[in-house]
Every structure is written in structure tokens, then in C-alpha cells.
Amino acid sequence: MLNFSELKIVHIDDHLLFAQGIYSLLGNETFIEELIHAENFQQGLRISKEIQPDIILLDYFLPDSKGIDSIRQLKSECPNSKVILLTMETNPEVMKKCRKEGAIGFLPKSISKKELLDALRNAMENLATFPPSPTLIPSSTKSSSRLNILSKREKQIANLVAEGFTSSEIAEKLFLSDLTVNTHRRNLIQKLGLKNSAQLVAFIENLKFSES
């Protein structure tokens, strides 16, 4: 049993079957005063503005709003509500961006009831719940020297990747095509001896290099 007062929770998700599953998990918990489901973002925003819930469980993929925009609006209208993403999205860049916008949790829809309850507890104690970060590559002279093989443009794109921008956003920011940005990303990963974008973000954050 959780050791905090009764909670008001709004769950925003357009998948009715999943929403029913969440209700079956949490509906009988005595610490929950209200558990309200909204089937789209605008409905969820309206309900949240009215009742100012303690916690908002938010799907990243909604038909009427992008995940980042959803968080931004919810935090603007409900500054004291804790926003937890409950989603199929797994992109580490998206996770980082959601956290930057004010989300306090980012959970896969495959989590257990215990994991969900732990996340609720953490949120009410102002503790974040996010998947473990990718293993950081140790900062060293050898690692730093790898940066010397990158072009100025590659370093520029690498920094934007680490800041959580998507390929499309980077393309728009630098006046490039999506294809060009994706090519640069693949080259970055290959040149640095990494496996994927998650390791690229970890590598850049660890080294904290600046564009030269």
C-alpha cells in the first residue's frame, strides 16, 4: 500500500482496451480517489484543467496531439500535476525530450502493476522514473581523440542529437534534407565505433564536447 494521500489521476489514451486494463489494475486501490480516462488529448486537457489531478498518465501517440506538445500544454495548464508517459515509444531521444519538457516518468506499456505503483509513488515523492540510461562510454583521451575525425557539420549534428532533436527537426534547423541528416547520423555512429543512436547520445553527453 502506498504511503500518501488519496490521488486524483487522469489517464489519456485513445486505446480503450488498454485504458480498461489500467482501470482494472488501479480501480480498486484505496489510495486513488479518482481515476478518469480521456480518449483523446483535448478531452484529457479539459478534464485535467478542471480537476487539477495529482498525476496524469499520458500516451505519447495521440490522434490529436504530439507527445512533446501534450506535455508542454499539460504543464502549462496543470503546473502541479505530475506527468508520466505510458507509451510504446522507446526512442531514447524522445525520452530525453519528454523529461526536458517536464515529464517525471516514462514507462513502457508492458510494465507490471508493481512497476506502475512504484512510478506513482516516485512521482508523489518528486522522484523521476525513466528506463536505465544506455551504458556511457568512459571519457578518456582515446575517446576524445575520436572527435578529431568528425567534420564541423558532424559535430554540429551530434550536439543536436544529444539535445534530443529528431532528424526532421535537425534538418529544418540546419536547412538540410532528412536524408542528409540521417546519412550524417549513420556516419557518426560508424566513425565513433558505436552501435546505435542511444550510444551516440551517451557518448556526446559524457564527453561534453563543444562544436569547433
Whole-angstrom Cα distance, residue 124 to residue 80? 11
Q: In this predicted structure, what is the pLDDT of residue 74?
A: 97
Residue 167 covered by a domain:
yes
Sheet hosting strand 82-87, strand order edge to edge? 32-38, 7-12, 55-58, 82-87, 105-108
Q: Is 116 left (phi over 0), alpha (psi -120 to 50) or beta?
A: alpha
Q: Based on the domain organization, do 165 and 77 belong to the same domain?
A: no
Phi, psi of 88 (to 5 degrees): -90, -10
Q: For the chain, list residues with pLDDT below 50.
A: 1-3, 134-143, 209-212
Q: In this predicted structure, what is the pLDDT of residue 209?
A: 40
Q: Based on the domain organization, do 57 and 107 belong to the same domain?
A: yes
Residue 1 covered by a domain:
no
What is the C-alpha end-to-end distance of the chain, expressed in Å?
A: 53
Grid coordinates representing 36 are 478518469
The answer to whether 105 and 115 have CB atoms below 8 angstroms apart is: no
Q: What is the CATH number of the domain that holds 145?
A: 1.10.10.10
Residue 154 covered by a domain:
yes
Read off the pLDDT of residues 16-58 as tens digits, 9 standing for 90 and up: 888 999 999 898 888 899 999 999 999 999 999 999 999 999 9
What is the distance, to the nearest Å, from the Cα of residue 199 to the centroid of all Cα atoms in its chain? 16
Q: Is 208 left (phi over 0), alpha (psi -120 to 50) or beta?
A: left
Last residue of a domain, one of 92, 124, 156: 124
Last residue of a domain, one of 68, 96, 124: 124
Grid coordinates representing 187 are 556516419
Last residue of a domain, one of 61, 89, 124: 124
Q: In this predicted structure, what is the pLDDT of residue 210?
A: 38
Helix (H) or strand (E) holding 57: strand 55-58
Whole-angstrom Cα distance, residue 13 to residue 20? 10
Q: What residues have CB less than 8 Å from 51, skipping those under 6 apart?
A: 8, 10, 34, 36
Q: In this predicted structure, what is the pLDDT of residue 139?
A: 41
SS3 206: helix
Number of domains in the chain: 2
Residue 24 covered by a domain:
yes
| String of DSSP letters for 99-137 | HHHT-SEEEETT--HHHHHHHHHHHHTT--B-PPPPPPP
Q: What residues have CB less than 8 Å from 212, skipping those under 6 apart?
A: 152, 155
Q: Based on the domain organization, do 54 and 18 belong to the same domain?
A: yes
Q: In this predicted structure, what is the pLDDT of residue 103?
A: 96
Q: Which domain holds residue 91?
A: 7-124
